[in-house]
Structure 1
Amino acid sequence: MNKLVKGLLSSKLVKSSFWYTIGNFFIKGISFITIPIFVNITTQAEYGLINNFTSFVSIFSILVGLSLNAAVNNASFDYKEKINEFMSSVLFLATISLFSFLLLGNIYFLFSNNFFDLNQMVFNLMILQSFATFVISYIQAYFTINFNHFKYLFLSLVSTVVNVLFSVLLMQTLFSYDKYVGRVVGGTVSFTFIAVVVYLFIMFKGKHYVDKKYWKYALRISMPLIPHSLANIILSQFDRIMINSYLGPAAGGIYSYISNIGIILSVVWMSTNNAWVPWFYGEMSNENYLTIKKVSNYYLLAFTTVAIIIMVVSIDLARLMAPQDYYSGLALVVPISLGYFFQFLYSLPVNAEFYEKKTDFIAIGTVASAGINIGLNALFIPRYGIIAAGYTTVFTYFLLFVFHYFIAKKITSRQLFDTVKIWSVVIFVSLFSAMLHFLIDYIMIRYVMLFIVLGLLGLYFIKNKNRIMNEFNS
């Protein structure tokens, strides 16, 4: 067993995954600590409005940035010697987009008093924070593909700490009369300050601004991904907007709180995916398809193990971190966590589509799933409340996974992943989640069930340690 552990720890993929996960958990840990603060210093309605604003930032960071950060991975291989020039030129293109949105948005306010309950000031702050978010994600994409996990984590840490501290300060002082606006101003100023530093760094390093060759290359990859990215936001965020609309901001606040608890599993997925992508791209470029298939099996098993642990623990975290007013949403922890699990699953084939630059297929699948999600939410949220939003999202992420799994196989003309193992895991996690749903209030039974599953997984690893070692290092 020691030999297996040492072998895994020597892997570049595992080391990167480890640091991304540890670092992101530390960063998200700061956000987690502040959840009770924000929940307790705001009303449910204010908390719902804050998360509604955050949803719009997620949407417009894609629109304003034209999803250009998606081109960085491929450009790092195709323009390896001129990547700095590429980065500065494409960022300048995004800057033109920013001013276009500011101009058009303020023209819109000549004819209307609000934009989805955002007044003109909040709208402009939202556009600025969206662009700042894009700039930060733009350079983080460069850090990720080059295995610069410490730079990635440092930037994430600074962004999180400055954002949280400045927002809380404003909410308790200058904007104590309107904590919603205080949170909006605090987040915008914090992210914009950091984005300006990053922006100047990229521009001075590249010193290249208008280049149609780079622009065409980036837009060819990114433009099909705009509907894909927007559809992803709809899948993960638009349910909050619909809950606000159908059930009111108080219900939106409860749903947002549970979603923020469920994001633990998303952190693990994003962290491991940040390490997986550069490794996967490297193995694909070297045509090491058998290695990908073998390693992906253990990646799948490891993530599944973490997922079931987080599902069980998150239920009790949600109970501990908020007043009883939020307990009505506890049952949402299971579907929200399961939704993130299917996000992880669909990212496996999607990464193959990204590598092959077949982004059109990515957009088609995600847009279709988002449309289904909106339709199901419109049908079931008014009837069954916020719990419906959790399960409609699970269903649509499952459809998304199935679609991309078969599309990736067609595009690459090969079976990169083990179908039998993947579907076995899907069935197991689905059954485990169904049992958890009925055991929300039975703490002892939940943890006994978890320990039994972990014990069986441990026996499997011990029994097959030599084979696992040989496959992982082959």
Structure 2
Amino acid sequence: MGLVYKILNSSLFKASGIYTLSSIINAAIPFLLLPLLTRYLSPEEYGIISMYALLLSITSVFMGLSVHGAINRAYFDEKINNHKEYVWNSLIILFISSFLTFLIYFIFENYISSLIEVPTSWIWTVALVSFFQFVINSLLVIYQAQLLAFKYAKIQIGQSLVNALLTILFVIILLWGWKGRLLAQILSVLFFGIMAFFILYKHYTEKKINLYYIKHALKFGVPLIPHTIGGILITLTDRFIINNLLGLEKVGIYMVGLQLGMVLALIADSFNKAYAPWLFEKLNQNDENVKKKIVKFTYIYFFGIILLAFLMFFILKILFPIFVGKKFFEVKRIILCILLGNAFTGMYYMVTNYIFYVYKSHILAIITFGVGILNVPLTFLFVKLYQEVGAAISFMIVNILMFLFTWILSAKLYPMPWKDFLK
């Protein structure tokens, strides 16, 4: 109990509380929109929105080459003497990769449009949203590294709130359908992206090209590309397969299920945002007693998040008719698998931080990419057998495998007293 008490009163839990509250509010906003959107949008329209989100996720892999993660890690690297200069050189990487991404979308927009069934006129907006979301994320990871949880929360909640208000205006009042939902997302990202850029430019950058910092950021970010692609294969393959085998309507139903289960994923992610900097600081002490306490807390977390998944399942079963329109009632068949899959993602976060700590993200990429490749035939088979329920089952299985393989890898790269937790 002493361990739990210390953690509850630590900077970790105070920051985590703000991140968690922020993420709960952030998740609650689109969650509270579900009763309206599932009555004003058809499953097919939800399908179009989902396929747009899929393309956005793929684009985000190459937009900035994942170097915003390097910005966060650089704050705990003694070799990085000028963090403002590091941020500026990371933004240079963003500018170059963005130009190439826009060029590719301009050349292949018709092919991409036919592939994901999103109109051609909307394809270029994906690159625009991805660019400004990277800028927002870069500012957020700086706030995270500096433990500026309130500033982080204001940006995160503000963006979601503006998105929600514009969605109500465009979809429910003006009746613009799926176009209104996407337009709300685009405008909210543009507003906060431009604001974040000016904050970065004025307060967190020093305009000097440093090839060492560029190489350092790329060394961290580029190996994460296969890792991120693997993550996309794990989380987004299901939508592509459902669209091809069952149609946009089933994609829309499945997406609503993912949104319902996303609350748990956001809670886990918000905790990790506070936990990772705290963990890196504790690991720097290289104290065996501290490591044992970390392991004990990790096991408590594992038990707690699985318990939370089941608790949320029973709550959602009771509230389901309130939150979802009749056209989407099939969703309740997939909720438990989605929640459990997200619980194991939360457990994955707790063990993957050790790999980032020792700068071995390229090895993690092998696991993620491998599991992602496995997910493709697995999802195809299960969707063939059980339709969208099969996709949810595959989602859960793959997240369990991802957690277990990553735990084994992290134990080898950075040994922790995992077997000594009872002593």
Provide the TM-score with structure 2 as the length reference: 0.92
Distance 1:416 1:88, change over 3 A: farther
Structure 2 gaps, min length 5: none
**In 2: Cα distance, 1:86 partner to 1:372 partner:** 37
Deviation, structure 1 residue 233: 2.4
CA distance in 1 between partners of 2:208 and 2:117 (Å): 37
Give the one of 351, 355, 358 matched to 2:360. Answer: 358
Matches within 5 A, 1:441-460: none
Q: In the TM superposition, what is the alpha-carbon distance from 1:4 to its structure 2 partner?
A: 8.5
Aligned to 1:293, what secondary structure does the other structure show? helix
2:261, 2:338 within 8 Å by CA — same for their partners in 1?
yes
Take 2:309 and 2:419, find their aligned partners in 1: how far apart are those partners? 19
Matching residue of 2:196: 198
Report the 3-state secondary structure (helix = DSSP H, G, I; strand = E; otherwise coil) of the residue aligned with 1:239: helix
AA partner of residue 315 (structure 1): K
Q: Which has the higher contact order (CA 8 A, sep 6+)?
A: 2
Q: Could you report, residue by residue, the CA deviation over 1:298-329 in whole angstroms, capped at 9, with x for unpaired residues?
A: 33343344333223223333343112332222
Cα offset for 1:92?
2.2
- Give the Cα–Cα distance (whole angstroms) in 1 for the partners of residues 85 and 115 of structure 2: 37
SS in 1 for 2:70: helix
> Contact between 1:125 and 1:185, CA under 8 Å: does it hold in 2?
no
Q: Within 5 Å, which residues of 2 pair with 1:53-452?
A: 53-78=52-77, 81-109=81-109, 114-172=114-172, 176=175, 178-205=176-203, 206-208=205-207, 210-288=209-287, 289-412=291-414, 414-418=415-419
Query: Is the alpha carbon distance of 1:159 and 1:384 closer, same or farther for their aligned partners in structure 2, counting shifts above 3 Å?
Result: same
C-alpha displacement at 1:117, in angstroms? Answer: 2.1
The percent of aligned pairs where both chains have the same amino acid is: 25
CA distance in 2, matches of 1:148, 1:233: 29
How far apart in 1 are the matches of 2:4 and 2:219?
43
Shift in alpha-carbon separation, 1:202–1:62, aligned structure 2, 3 A: same
Tell me how far apart the structure 2 counterparts of residues 320 and 268 of structure 1 sit (CA, whole Å): 22
**What code does the residue aligned with 2:189 have?**
F
Verify the 8 A CA contact 2:46 2:178 in the aligned structure 1. Answer: yes
Q: Residues 384, 281 of structure 1: CA spacing in aligned structure 2 closer, same or farther, 3 A cutoff?
A: same
* 1:162 Cα offset (Å): 1.0
Deviates more, 1:294-303 or 1:234-243: 294-303
1:165-207 residue CA offsets vs partner (Å, 9 max, x unmatched): 1233223466x3x522222222112101211111122123313
CA distance in structure 2 between the aligned counterparts of 1:311 and 1:111, rounded to whole angstroms:
40
Residue 18 of structure 1 corresponds to which residue in structure 2?
17
SS in 1 for 2:209: coil
Q: Deviations over 1:229-283 (max 9, x none)?
A: 1221221222122212211111111111111111121121012111110111111
Q: Which residue of 2 aligns with 1:461?
A: none
Specify the code of the residue in structure 2 equivalent to 1:222: G
Match of 1:468 in 2: none
In 2, distance between residues paired with 1:374 and 1:123?
25
**Change beyond 3 A, Cα 1:59–1:316:** farther
Structure 1 residue 292, shift from structure 2 partner: 2.0
Q: Distance in 1 between matches of 2:252 and 2:84?
A: 42
Cα contact 1:125–1:184 (8 A) shared by 2: no
Contact 2:4–2:297 (8 Å) recurs in 1: no
Q: Which runs of 5+ in 1 are unaligned?
A: 422-470
> Deviations for 1:64-95, whole angstroms, at most 9, x for unmatched residues?
12111111222112266411221122012102
Structure 1 residue matching 2:418: 3-state secondary structure: coil
The count of aligned residue pairs is 418
Q: Which amino acid aligns with 2:370?
A: A
Whole-angstrom CA distance in 2 between matches of 1:297 and 1:146: 27
Contact between 1:21 and 1:271, CA under 8 Å: does it hold in 2? yes
**C-alpha displacement at 1:111, in angstroms?**
7.4
- Code of the residue aligned with 2:93 in structure 1: it is L
Comparing 4-13 with 130-139, which one deviates more in the overlay? Answer: 4-13
What is the RMSD of the two structures over their aligned residues, measured on CA atoms? 2.3
